[in-house]
């Protein structure tokens, strides 16, 4: 399972992650890369995904999958992708830009359509996000093209979306519209809404529910 962090200006660090612990305990290998846009690799790497550079980030995910297979531990017929926040967006994007690469996916608090995201997010987040992705007025065509919803017809694999019901950073409608569109096209898709949660899952019971639901989904669809 390839796990994509948020941000995109976050960085994977060698620290204990309960989600990874849960997945490894189920027999899944976890590959958690820093794709372009991540911190810790210089300013040019952080800025390499700005605007139309975002398309190359989708290719980074595919390259990560290829590396996992070439390096030995990964079965190319049993790959999954998962991420949260920006990583959730990359997860949505990965399964529609590379529809035959992964067997399943789990997208957590991800954006699925930049135009609805900009319309629904907090104003300060929208202002910051315009620098990363494009301006909602001046760059509408770029934002439309970068939106996973614009390629929903390419979706082929089952997907679980997870979202906090009170998320104001990435509104829950971002997950709802992707899941609904997938279901309308006959693709297996489910939405897990975590009650009394925002963008970050803070309640211990919800954290456990999330980890177990994600692990159950991946375990079941990868046939471990």
Which domains occur in the chain, in start order? 2-222 (3.40.50.1820)
Interatomic CA distance for residues 199 and 162, integer angstroms: 11
pLDDT per position as a tens digit, 149-201:
999 999 999 999 999 999 999 999 999 999 999 999 999 999 999 999 999 99
Nearest to 33 by CA among 62, 73, 64, 78: 64
Largest CA distance in the chain: 47
- pLDDT classification of 46: cutoffs 50, 70, 90: confident
Interatomic CA distance for residues 61 and 70, integer angstroms: 14
What count of residues does the chain have? 224
Radius of gyration of the chain (CA): 16
The pLDDT value recorded for residue 40 is 78
Report the pLDDT averaged over residues 60-64.
95
> Assign residue 178 a region: left if phi > 0, alpha if psi is -120 to 50, beta otherwise?
alpha
Nearest to 28 by CA among 96, 103, 107: 103
Interatomic CA distance for residues 169 and 117, integer angstroms: 9
Interatomic CA distance for residues 39 and 46, integer angstroms: 6
pLDDT per position as a tens digit, 16-38:
999 999 999 999 999 999 888 77
Quote the DSSP letter at residue 213: H
Mean pLDDT, the chain, integer: 94
């Amino acid at each position: 399972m390839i796990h994509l962090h948020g941000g995109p200006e976050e960085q994977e660090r060698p620290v204990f992650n309960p989600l990874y612990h849960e997945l490894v305990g189920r027999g899944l290998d976890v590959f958690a890369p820093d794709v372009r846009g991540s911190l810790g690799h210089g300013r040019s790497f952080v800025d390499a995904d700005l605007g139309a550079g975002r398309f190359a980030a989708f290719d980074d995910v595919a390259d990560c999958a290829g590396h996992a297979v070439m390096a030995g531990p990964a079965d190319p017929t049993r790959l999954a992708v998962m991420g949260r926040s920006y990583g959730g967006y990359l997860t949505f994007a990965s399964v529609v830009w590379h529809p035959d690469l992964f067997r399943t996916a789990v997208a957590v608090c991800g954006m699925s359509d930049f135009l609805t995201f900009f319309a629904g997010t907090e104003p300060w987040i929208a202002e910051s996000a315009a620098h990363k992705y494009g301006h909602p007025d001046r760059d509408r065509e770029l934002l439309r093209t970068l939106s996973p919803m614009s390629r929903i017809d390419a979706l082929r694999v089952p997907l679980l979306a997870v979202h906090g019901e009170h998320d104001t950073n990435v509104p829950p409608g971002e997950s709802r519209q992707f899941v609904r569109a997938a279901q309308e096209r006959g693709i297996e898709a489910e939405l897990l809404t975590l009650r009394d949660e925002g963008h970050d899952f803070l309640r211990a019971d919800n954290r456990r529910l999330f980890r177990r639901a994600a692990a159950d989904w991946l375990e079941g669809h990868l046939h471990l």
